[in-house]
Structure 1
Amino acid sequence: MEKETDDRLTAIEVKLAYMEDFVNQIQNVAVEQAKTIDKLQKEIKLMSDRIREMSNTMEGDIPNRKPPHY
């Protein structure tokens, strides 16, 4: 009976060790994804600012009139 209990306890400890490793791997992936998201958000803001700046600069060059097909 004691051997069976020890075997079950060992099996539980092994499963727990695998689960802890898996959780650590998931956490590392989540941290990397958060860094990537932050980087992409900064790039999007930079691109948006540049487009806005270009649009404001070009506004004077583009006449404000209806296209010929109207």
Structure 2
Amino acid sequence: MDTETENRFIALETKLAFMDDFVNKLQQEVVKQQKMIEILREENKILSSRIMDLSENIEIPNRKPPHY
């Protein structure tokens, strides 16, 4: 194998190693974000439930706000 071909292989292997590392880091970030999305969905469900409970129990008067 001549040196030019060998240098090209080395350059390709280097790029592949960097891309592999990048993909692994990206995958880890996606997993963290997915966990956060699930937590936020659960919190949203709980808050929606509380709001519904409160709105059923409290009568909200139909009047103009004080700034009118």
Summarize the alignment of residues 1-70 of structure 1 with structure 2, pairs less than 5 Å apart: 2-59=2-59, 62=60, 66-67=62-63
Structure 1 moving runs of 4+ over 3 Å:
none
Q: CA RMSD in A?
A: 1.7
**TM-score, structure 2 normalization:** 0.83
Report the Cα offset of residue 35 of structure 1.
0.7
**TM-score, structure 1 normalization:** 0.81
CA deviation string 1:2-39 (max 9, x = no partner): 11111110110010000000001111111111111111
Provide the rounded CA distance (Å) in 1 between the counterparts of 2:63 and 2:22: 60
| Corresponding residue pairs, total | 64
Provide the rounded CA distance (Å) in 2 between the counterparts of 1:44 and 1:24: 30
- Alignment gaps of 5+ in structure 1: none
Identity, % of aligned positions: 45
Larger radius of gyration: 1
Report the Cα offset of residue 67 of structure 1.
2.8
CA deviation string 1:34-70 (max 9, x = no partner): 11111101101100000101111223xx56xx537xx
Equivalent residue letter for 1:20: D
Equivalent residue letter for 1:34: Q
